[in-house]
Structure 1
Amino acid sequence: LTFSLGKQVGNKFFLTNGEIMTFEKVKALCVKFQASVATPRNAAENGAVRNLIKEEAFLGITDEKTEGQFVDLTGNRLTYTNWNEGEPNNAGSDEDCVLLLKNGQWNDVPCSTSHLAVCEFPI
């Protein structure tokens, strides 16, 4: 398993292996490589991930614990967001994960769906 594409911003390196998988599998993949699911903290990081992807990708953000309160995977509240218009909307009442759309904006989606894996490595 190799990571072929990457973008560096500050002290982070965002990488994808090009695989499409569920959120749980993305989390496990990133942890396996001592990384975490990509979690943009500002517009520059969000732009780097957007420029890296050719299709929609999971971000390391959920509201699984408290509906409507999106946090990173360590439980910290977000200081930066880039929601698409009308999002998050929890359509179907099961949208607990966050997807980075090709336009760079975010959408809440079910965690059981499969999307591109992007990991974030500290450098």
Structure 2
Amino acid sequence: MALLKLFLGALLLLQFVLLDGAEPQNLNCPAYGGVPGTPGHNGLPGRDGRDGKDGAIGPKGEKGEPGVNVQGTPGKAGPSGPAGAKGERGPPGAGAQGPPGKVGPPGAVGPKGDKGNPGLPAGTAVQSALVTQLQSDVKHLRDRLTAVEKVLGFRMFRKVGQKYYVTNGLKGNFEKALKFCSDAGAKIVLPRSEDENKVITSLQAALESTYVYAGATDRQKEGHFVDMSGQPLTFTKWKENEPNDHNGGEDCTAIYKSGVWNDINCNSEWHVVCEL
């Protein structure tokens, strides 16, 4: 600031020097002695002076308020440290073991038993029984299916209990009847009850047949009729005064359309019915 005042003072002094040496000029404006003139225009501002030297360091300011304590974000986890040493073994439990009991005297040795057959594990025995039962069931179903397939191969059939009576309307003597049924995987019909006997008569009505051969003869012993396996008959329905072995030549059995039985000549030709 002092330097600026000095500079302005030197500039004003130079102006007076220049004015004193110049010639007087005519003024257009009238002026009266002793009256100050109008102030002139301000001159142009001078150039900035040079920076002064740094002043003395001021006194230390008062201590500011403490800043806000804000925790920064956690840094990345560092690498795992080395494994620590194995700790010592802990003390034993509080339970106490009782004293050992006395050893009893040895028992007598029994006689050696017979060597048994090696048994199967429980699970294996059950599985074996189930497999056996399943095989039996499958065989039964196959047999039934085979029988049904055979039945469907005949023109007529009737079901009675677990049997099927089948026929194609064939006629022939007793030997031909036996062969026909055997070739079909069946046997010649032989009723074992009144219900089965009635089923035969229903087939006879459909065939319009007078007689149907039955599987019973007395060829081995006259008057003693047996089935095709040689077993005594468990059911019969002989017509009155039959069997009579007329003229000594009636060794076979036929069922009349009314359901009664009669002994006839084995060479007679009658309808053939088989049973499955």
- Give TM-score, length-normalised by structure 2: 0.43
The CA deviation at 1:50 is 1.1
Tell me what 1:99 maps to.
Answer: 254
CA RMSD of aligned residues (A): 0.8
* Whole-Å separation in 2 of the counterparts to 1:3 and 1:104: 23
* Matched letter for residue 62 of structure 1: T
Tell me what 1:25 maps to.
Answer: 176
Residues 39-78 of structure 1: CA distance to partner in whole angstroms, max 9, x if unpaired?
Answer: 0001011111111112111000111111100011111100
Tell me what 2:214 maps to.
Answer: 59
- Show the 5 A alignment for 1:24-43: 24-43=175-194
Q: In proportion to residue count, which structure has more strand?
A: 1
* Matched letter for residue 111 of structure 1: C
* Whole-Å separation in 2 of the counterparts to 1:10 and 1:25: 27
- The one of 222, 227, 252 equivalent to 1:72 is 227
* Whole-Å separation in 1 of the counterparts to 2:154 and 2:176: 15
Tell me what 2:167 maps to.
Answer: 16
The CA deviation at 1:84 is 0.7
- Give TM-score, length-normalised by structure 1: 0.95
Number of residue pairs aligned between Structure 1 and Structure 2: 120
Tell me what 2:241 maps to.
Answer: 86
The CA deviation at 1:24 is 0.2
Residues 51-108 of structure 1: CA distance to partner in whole angstroms, max 9, x if unpaired?
Answer: 1112111000111111100011111100100001110010010101001000000000
* Matched letter for residue 67 of structure 1: E
Tell me what 2:76 maps to.
Answer: none
Q: For structure 2, which runs of at least 5 residues remain unmatched after alignment?
A: 1-152
Quick check: which has more Rg, 1 or 2? 2
* Whole-Å separation in 1 of the counterparts to 2:184 and 2:170: 15
* Whole-Å separation in 1 of the counterparts to 2:158 and 2:260: 18
* Matched letter for residue 241 of structure 2: G
* Matched letter for residue 119 of structure 1: C
* Local SS of the residue matching 1:46: helix
Q: For structure 1, which runs of at least 5 residues remain unmatched after alignment?
A: none
The CA deviation at 1:19 is 1.2
Tell me what 2:201 maps to.
Answer: 50
Q: In proportion to residue count, which structure has more helix?
A: 2
* Whole-Å separation in 2 of the counterparts to 1:19 and 1:92: 27
* Whole-Å separation in 2 of the counterparts to 1:8 and 1:74: 23
